[in-house]
Amino acid sequence: MAVVLFSTPGCGACRTWKRLLPQALADSAAAFHEVDVSEATGVARYFGIFHLPTVYLYLDGQFHAELQCEAMPDAIRDKAHELLTAPPQDEP
């Protein structure tokens, strides 16, 4: 699994998620990527990112789901596992 965090440096919640994601998903994520939407505005527009932070999960190179849950390691781990065992969602 690959994890993509869309964020900006000035966002406190973004910094929290950036710290928590590797901790919560260390056993299941092969890669963590961060997209600074203040620098990559075209990417943010392409994916329709309106709220920060936004976290996307990819499996085998394909979009699988958007991770939405409480910013706590156990909640992140449990929700990611739930999303990855479900069928993939349509790409945003």
CA pair distance 36, 62, nearest whole angstrom: 21
91 belongs to a structural domain: no
pLDDT tens, position by position, 35-51: 999 999 999 999 999 99
State the Rg of the chain over Cα.
12
CATH assignment at residue 55: 3.40.30.10
Give the whole-number percent of the chain exceeding pLDDT 90. Answer: 96
Note the pLDDT of residue 85.
94
27 belongs to a structural domain: yes
Q: How many CA atoms lie within 13 A of 39 on its CB side?
A: 8
pLDDT tens, position by position, 57-82: 999 989 999 999 999 999 999 999 99
90 belongs to a structural domain: no
How many distinct structural domains can be found in the chain? 1
43 belongs to a structural domain: yes
7 belongs to a structural domain: yes
Find out whether 55 and 17 touch, Cβ atoms under 8 Å.
yes
67 belongs to a structural domain: yes
Q: Give the residue numbers spanning the domain of 58.
A: 2-85
